[in-house]
Amino acid sequence: MKLIVAIGILFLCSCTYNKEELLYNNTCDTSNVKYSVQVTNTLNANCISCHAGATASGGIMLDDYTSVRAAAISGRLLGAISHAPGYRGMPDLAPKLPECRIAEIRTWMRNGMLNN
C-alpha cells in the first residue's frame, strides 16, 4: 500500500513538473510579436480554412486585419482559442493550439492589436 502511494506521488510530481516546463520554458518568445508574423501565421495555418470570405463560419472572418481586430475586441478570439467557458473552443474539430501560439495572440492584444 505504501509503495502504491509513493509511486502515485512520484507520478503526480513528474506530471506537474512536465506541465510547468511546458508552460514556463524559454522556447516561447513573445518579445517581438507582430500581426504580420505570428498572428497571421497562426490564423492562416489553423483558422482561415473555415473563417474567410462570404462563407466564414459564424460570420467570423479571420483573413483580414479589421475583422481579426474586431474578433479580438469582442473577446471571442481569445475566448475561443483558450477554450474559455461560454465560448466554442477553436480550432473546431481539432486539438487546442499550443500554449505559445495562444500566448502570442494574447500579447498582440495586450500590446494594442497593432497592424504591424
* Interface ranges with ligand HEC (CB under 6 A): 46-47, 49-51, 57-58, 60, 62, 71, 76-77, 80-81, 87-88, 90-93, 97
Closest contact distance (angstroms) between CB of 51 and ligand HEC is 5
Closest contact distance (angstroms) between CB of 26 and ligand HEC is 24
Closest contact distance (angstroms) between CB of 63 and ligand HEC is 11
Q: Kindly state the greatest CA–CA separation across the chain.
A: 62
Identify which of residues 8 and 58 has a Cβ nearer to ligand HEC in the complex. 58
Rounded distance between C-alpha atoms, residue 8 and residue 84, angstroms? 30
Q: Which grid coordinates are listed for 1?
A: 500500500
Q: In degrees rounded to 5, what are phi and psi of residue 34?
A: -125, 145
Q: Which amino acid, 110?
A: R
- Are the C-beta atoms of 79 and 86 separated by less than 8 Å? yes
Identify which of residues 2 and 53 has a Cβ nearer to ligand HEC in the complex. 53
